């Protein structure tokens, strides 16, 4: 006789009937300079995409430094203290 896979148990509930698990925290950082604005998460994603476009793997990123220079209309990135590049704002 074949065994059935055990079904996942429902999340533990408190006395009020709500789950004890905390919702994930969401952070949104918007940089505003001289009437322009940039979402820092989007800048980070663009920097990672530019790094990957150069033939690197995103999984190799351990540290990403992002320097935003609105006066130059650029954001410069440094990956793992070695690889460098820039993206347009």
Per-residue pLDDT, 11: 56
Determine the pLDDT at residue 5: 57
Q: What is the mean pLDDT of each run of 10 residues along the chain (89 residues)?
A: 57 60 86 92 95 94 95 95 94
Q: At 66, which helix (H) or strand (E)?
A: strand 64-69
Q: Please give the order of strands across the beta sheet that includes 74-79.
A: 64-69, 74-79, 83-88
- pLDDT value of residue 48: 96
pLDDT given at position 27: 87
In total, the chain counts a number of residues equal to 89
For residues 30 and 12, what is the distance between their CA atoms, to the nearest angstrom?
A: 36
Sign of CA dihedral 67, 70, 71, 75: positive
What pTM value is reported for the model? Answer: 0.69
| pLDDT number for residue 23 | 82
Structural domain boundaries in the chain: 30-88
């Amino acid at each position: 006789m074949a065994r059935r896979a055990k079904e996942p148990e429902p999340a533990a509930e408190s006395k009020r009937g709500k789950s004890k698990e905390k919702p994930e925290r969401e952070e949104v950082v918007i940089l505003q300079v001289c009437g322009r604005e940039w979402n820092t998460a989007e800048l980070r994603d663009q920097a990672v995409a530019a790094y990957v476009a150069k033939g690197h793997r995103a999984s190799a990123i351990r540290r990403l430094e992002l320097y935003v220079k609105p006066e130059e209309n650029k954001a410069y990135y440094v990956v793992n203290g070695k690889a460098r590049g820039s993206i347009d704002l």
